[in-house]
Amino acid sequence: MVERADSGSVAAETPVVPGVGKRRRGWVLAGIAVVLSVVLGFHRLVPNWPGRIGSLLESFLPWGGVLVIVLLIVALVRRSAVALVALLLPVGVWVDTFGGLLLPGEVSGGGRELLVVQHNVSDENRDPAGTARALSDVGADLVALEELVDPQVSAYEKALAADYPHHLVRGTVGLWSKHPLSGERVVDIKPPSIEEGWSRGLRAVVHSPYGDVAAYVAHLPSVRVGVGGLTSQRRDESAALLGRAIAGESVEPVVLLGDLNGVVEDRGLRPLTSQLDVAESGFAFSFPAAFPLARIDQVMARSATVGRIRALPATGSDHLPVAARVTLG
């Protein structure tokens, strides 16, 4: 007698193919690596809407390197050759874009150079005199400050007077110089939607030992990150106004120092970065001071070279100061 098995009493078995799951995970990691490469290499193609998503992405673009490291660790743990090979692509793109910033930069040759310091000192700084002393100790030729408010201005003027006999303050920005100044004027970078009385730009000619230099100090409007994205319209409008002013500058070289509330990769600063050179090396993340995530304090130049830029020790501000050597062309 032949008994037939009840089809409902025997569970169907699915054959297991060794390594299939790992291979699938490897291809997923490889796909993520390719997407990351595209974002790093073609971030300009990311639309700036809604919420200025393109500018938001560019604000944290250097941190794409951290994502690459995380993917690398996962690929090593998974022992996925496919993912490891694919990761060569984002590694190459990141190194090509930001690798130069890791280089030490040229050693000062003591030639046609100006050492400059840029610092948003914060209008809530409780120790302006201590901040001024710390900046003076750097020995810079030029010191640019933003968020200067009464009664703190007099504290900065008093503390910096001995080392910087020449200075000017216009609105909430100021420039201190070891060399004589002339041609001082306000630079109007106020967006149309901001009320009168807002003044955050100045220009002066620095009579350095190596010739005249047009120096600009600017503090562009703040940006905010919220659920709707990046609110940078005013910042972008102000950058455009500043760009026009610098484009019409007749004195060369030009040096721009300021809190631009944006990184140099941010398309919102294109009116400036399209005509000014940025630092050749150094990340110098300057904000927020407690845990710096981005460099929004900038040193840029035309007909001159900005060498390595570096962040200085914290002061009483929510920004870190940055310093750079500018070699005049």
Beta bridge partners of 207: 212
Check the CA dihedral 174-160-212-110 and report its sign.
negative
For residue 219, the Cα-to-chain-centroid distance in whole angstroms is 14
pLDDT tens, position by position, 118-138: 999 999 999 999 999 999 999
pLDDT tens, position by position, 142-193: 999 999 999 999 999 999 999 999 999 999 999 999 999 999 999 999 999 9
Please report the pLDDT score of residue 74 as a whole number. Answer: 92
Comparing 15-24, 122-131, 311-320, which segment has the lowest mean pLDDT?
Answer: 15-24
Q: For 161-230, give the DSSP string.
A: TTT--EEEEETTEEEEESS-EEEEEE-----TTSPTT---EEEEEEEETTEEEEEEEEEPPP-EEETTEE
Locate CATH 3.60.10.10 in the chain: 113-328
Domain covering 113-328: architecture: 4-Layer Sandwich (3.60)
The token duo for 128 is: 């302006």
pLDDT higher than threshold 80 for residue 110: no
Q: Tell me if 280 sits within 8 A of 305, measured CB to CB.
A: yes
Beta bridge partners of 325: 115
- Most distant CA pair in the chain: distance in Å? 115
Cα separation, 129 vs 213, in Å, equals 28
Upper half-sphere CA count for residue 227 (Cβ side, 13 Å): 0
Please report which confidence band the pLDDT of residue 49 belongs to, taking 50, 70 and 90 as the band edges. Answer: confident
Q: Tell me if 29 sits within 8 A of 74, measured CB to CB.
A: yes
Helix (H, G, I), strand (E, B) or coil at 291: coil
Cα dihedral 239, 245, 248, 249 in deg (nearest 10): -110
pLDDT tens, position by position, 235-281: 999 999 999 999 999 999 999 999 999 999 999 999 999 999 999 89
pLDDT tens, position by position, 194-208: 988 999 999 999 999
pLDDT tens, position by position, 59-107: 889 999 999 999 999 999 988 999 999 999 999 999 988 988 887 765 5
Closest by Cα among 156, 128, 155, 129 to 143: 156
What are the Cα distances from residue 307, in Å, to 107, 153, 257, 280? 9, 30, 14, 5
